[in-house]
A and B are shown apart, each in its own frame.
Chain A
């Protein structure tokens, strides 16, 4: 009975993914007829060089970037929610995204350049940015692990995550005060969030890391399910709890850091999508939750991407859209928490 529900959900999310990807191909600041887009994708070419470049080097990379970013952030949120036994955990609310952002800012300023622009120049510089993001996310995760051992309250951990975000943003502002005007401008526009920052040359690294980490998360379904019962039961089921937690947080850190470095600190997706997946599937069984979360995350990110280019007067920042989708869902979950099974 519930297998049917799972199969239908996966089917529905996949169909939606294809439709949203097509929408992203067709809609954009430049109007290109759908027939011509088909010609470009099938390799025939549209006869218009500018259209070819827009579709092949802008729209298709953006679709891949958005879908992978959505999947990555959503899986990060799911792993954090299970690891910390906290349904309101997510990479942005716990400050992991801000930590990665701080890492990015520090690397950029240490290299004497400006933020954002550097992501496009040379392998060495964007690897440095990536490593900065990884270290930043890693530091925040270590802080969270340390605090979660001391404060047992879920709410307190969320507040600590929010405090970490404030702290990192104040450090970033201090850094900005000594940065060049161009650097500050680039930093601010990076902070808006966008899925157009990954060029075709950078795509293999971006996609490669995310796909590997997503596969890693899919291999963790057994210990993730054991953790639903808490650390003591998980140990009793033969799980090495501290090693499992470290692996899960490493995967989370990598996913969040890569997305944040390339797309900016994107909020709400990581928090909301695992709940959408749980409510749609009606289970917290990770062997079903992980694939559904990956697909639903990709869908939501593509929806945001479509919305961001739907404005004829210019591109709407991603971070202006995610709260509009995310806040109502979170409020719904909070208000109905007694009726939603996994809160009981």
Chain B
């Protein structure tokens, strides 16, 4: 793969939302790092600010304060086009692409690299084919998106992000609508992409035990709006897992890497 090495860092980042003149800060003072070859899971209860943080990291929303850099270059001052070659996105937004085949959809991932009319050349088509193979969706290459199961659709969306050939892939709740088998499969796929393809992968998730088992690093948003980072072992040892939920009646059980009550 001709991906460039990248390291993604935030400096004193503050995220939240603007409500007219009021500014509501959800998270602040964030100094976070994403590295090539690592799978990072962002965990936190609903409303903690996971999506807001991801929207800031993908430049869909301007952060309230601070900067984001990729290889020392300010992401916020880059053109949309330059950013599209650094970060690939997989979100849960509804798409209108039911009448596109998987190949056509994955082909859209080549847009940052194609010309004015978006025509694909032989090299682009080969990258599309390879991306579908890597995401495990190549046997459905000529099927309509509408005919896929939720899990297959998510694989196609991941293949689309792969075809974009970005060093960083950010996924907003990629397993949210999937059954258990597809969840595990998707997480495994993302782990492979990080470890074997050298991608920096960041995903938000509700699936705590799976994230703890498969992620190389966790970003935990605690109930008092701090972001704790570290490996599963480190965070479990620090007792950080019990700061994830407000509810006092559930406790994190290190033996099963999950919560019990």
Contact = CB atoms under 8 A, between A and B. Distances in A.
Contacts of A340: 99
Given A1-B142, A238-B111, A229 B95 contact: yes
B114 A341 contact: no
Contacts of A228: 95-97, 100, 108
Contacts of B118: 221-222, 225, 287
Given A226-B111, A283-B100, A285-B100, A233 B95 contact: yes
Nearest to B148: A344
Contacts of B84: 236-238
A284 B60 CA distance: 26
Contacts of A283: 99-101, 104
B109 interface: yes
A278 interface: yes
A226 B84 CA distance: 12
A101 B99 CA distance: 35
A343 interface: yes
Interface SS, B side: loop
A163 interface: no
B87 interface: yes
Nearest to A87: B96
Interface residues of B, number: 37
B119 to A, nearest CB: 8
Interface in A205-225: 219, 221-222, 225
A225 B104 CA distance: 10
A323 interface: no
Given A232-B89, A235-B80, A284 B97 contact: yes
Contacts of B114: 222
Contact of B108 (A229, A235, A240): A229
B58 interface: yes
A341 B146 contact: yes
A334 B130 CA distance: 38
B100 A284 contact: yes
A230 interface: yes
A117 interface: no
A221 B117 contact: yes
Interface string B143-165: 01111000000000000000010
A41 B111 CA distance: 47
A147 interface: no
Interface in A228-251: 228-230, 232-233, 235-240
Interface of B: 58-60, 80-81, 83-85, 87-89, 91, 93-101, 104, 108-109, 111-112, 114, 116-119, 142, 144-147, 164
The 8 closest A-B pairs by CB, nearest first: A238-B84, A222-B118, A344-B146, A342-B99, A344-B98, A236-B89, A341-B146, A341-B99
6 contacts: A221-B118, A225-B108, A228-B95, A233-B93, A238-B80, A284-B98
